[in-house]
Chains A and B, each alone.
Chain A
Amino acid sequence: MSSVEVGATCSAEPGCITCGDVAVALTVISSAGADAQCQDDEGRPELVATELVGAVVPGDRLLVHAGVAIERLRAFTRTGTGEQR
């Protein structure tokens, strides 16, 4: 999987995704098979594995950790997941 920009490098500064229990809210732009092209609220893209949340369609909101969607979010859910720290 090629992740772009959003967490493209797992940096120790300002925080590592696993140590910080960091997950980001992303919006699905398109999907192909088990992967979906998503973007965050700032428009930054990321390719996300979606097997754990089922089929997705453009506009769906996902909570993503380490390139994998771990939960669906309600459409109105704003960021507020502790990211961009």
Chain B
Amino acid sequence: MKFVDEFRSPELAEVLAREIATLCEPGRHYKIMEVCGGHTHTIYRYGVQDHLPEDIELVHGPGCPVCVIPMGRVDDGIAIAERDGVILTCFGDMMRVPGGRGSFLEANARGADIRMVYSPLDALRIARENPDRQVVFYAIGFETTAPSTALTVLRAKAEGIDNFSVFCNHVTIIPAIKAILDSPDLRLDAFIGPGHVSTVIGCRPYEWISKDFGLPLVCAGFEPLDLLQSVYMIMKQFSEGRAEVENQYSRVVAYDGNPVALKVLADVFSLRPFFEWRGLGSIAHSALQLSPRYAHYDAELRYDLPGVRVADPKACQCGEVLKGVLKPWECKVFGTACTPETPIGTCMVSSEGACAAYYNFGQYAKQRLTLEVLQ
């Protein structure tokens, strides 16, 4: 593939894999969490784990935005969409996330008008084209996506478009990592940091992970060789007794991020006191809401919402998967009652969710076979 093959070379992967193997301390097991759903997808699509020694275990983190959206927030979106004259817009994966009252797709089947968009700016265009309708953008995503929502709000205000609002579910990555590190049931040795989130926030916000917890973190790109090189950089730190934040994705990520984007985020959003993350519970200061200056565009203020907390299905173990405590195939309903076609848990919805990535790329079959042989 033009311009991409150089990041997917099997020969270079083998070289890196050999270097990584030489850095492993005999008898030591390394648990490295990739925070980002895009990394999880690459790992299973390209079999990155298969290039690593058995003593290096990649653990999947909570970095897929739809995977951490609580069911109650899905129901709130449906409640907005069911109001007369409302067009709800959202990103693609959100359409199939199950809430307590079904998914957005099912709401559409009942008569709601929920449309998939590529950009929040497309939602604003829909508002421009439908002045007699209220258009709401169901905003999800980490700091990579939040700037596009912020910019859209700024454009709506500049153009005086009043029939547009945002139902904000943007979350921030740092508090989630802290919640994982504070979790008593998980021991991690290092992190692979999210690449494009870091484009916005930079690498500096991760430094406490090295200073306070003594763990390496390497911000990584999304190609297979990016991930292998990141593991190599982490192992190199271990072998040299270092614990630092390093930037493997320097061809894209500036260490201090994008200051203009950060300024726009600080202008348009403020931190919520608390936000519920599926599987991780309520985490302080972990999500964004529209700041009072832009309250006019806040769908939570514009509409009366149920705001009810909905418990996850009992059989679903997404919480443990999101914290890296369970592998997807260890969930009781994985691949049986819960599949990408009929997801019970959010991790099975997005192809970047750990369960869907396992399911789509056959890892579960390999793991189950191993178990059967052992039994």
Contact = CB atoms under 8 A, between A and B. Distances in A.
A65 B42 CA distance: 18
A79 B1 CA distance: 10
A71 interface: yes
A7 to B, nearest CB: 5
Interface stretch (B87-95, B106-114, B328-336): B87-95
Given A12-B92, A21-B222, A71 B121 contact: no
B4 A80 contact: yes
B151 A81 contact: no
Contacts of A18: 65-66, 91, 93, 140-142, 144-145
Interface stretch (B191-199, B306-314, B362-370): B191-199
> Interface size class for chain B?
35 or more
Contact of B251 (A23, A65, A77): A77
B151 A15 contact: no
A80 B41 CA distance: 15
In the complex, which of the residues B41, B94, B96, B253 has the most CB atoms of chain A within 10 Å of its own CB atom?
B41
A79 B350 contact: no
Contacts of B2: 41-42, 79
Contacts of A8: 118
B144 A21 contact: yes
A3 B118 contact: yes
Given A19-B352, A21-B194, A82-B221, A1 B124 contact: yes
Interface in A1-32: 1-3, 7-23
Given A17-B91, A19-B64, A41-B2, A80 B122 contact: no
A84 B1 CA distance: 9
B260 A52 contact: yes
Contact of A70 (B92, B93, B196): B196
A2 B119 CA distance: 9
A15 B144 contact: no
B261 interface: yes
Contacts of A13: 351
Interface centre among A1, A2, A63, A82 (most CB of B within 10 A): A82
Nearest to B351: A15
Contacts of B67: 19
**Residue in B45, B63, B119, B195 with the greatest tally of chain A CB atoms within 10 Å:** B119
A34 B269 CA distance: 21
A11 B120 contact: no
Given A82-B38, A85-B41, A74 B251 contact: yes
B6 A78 contact: yes
Contacts of B72: none
A80 B1 CA distance: 10
Interface in B44-74: 45, 63-67
Interface of A: 1-3, 7-23, 41-42, 49, 51-54, 63, 65-68, 70-71, 73-74, 77-82, 84-85
5 contacts: A19-B91, A65-B145, A70-B261, A80-B6, A81-B196
Pick the 6 closest A-B CB pairs, nearest first.
A82-B222, A67-B119, A16-B93, A1-B121, A10-B92, A18-B141
Given A20-B350, A21-B38, A79-B3, 17 more contacts: A1-B119, A7-B118, A12-B349, A15-B350, A16-B91, A18-B91, A18-B144, A19-B37, A19-B353, A51-B154, A53-B258, A65-B196, A67-B118, A73-B252, A80-B223, A82-B221, A84-B4
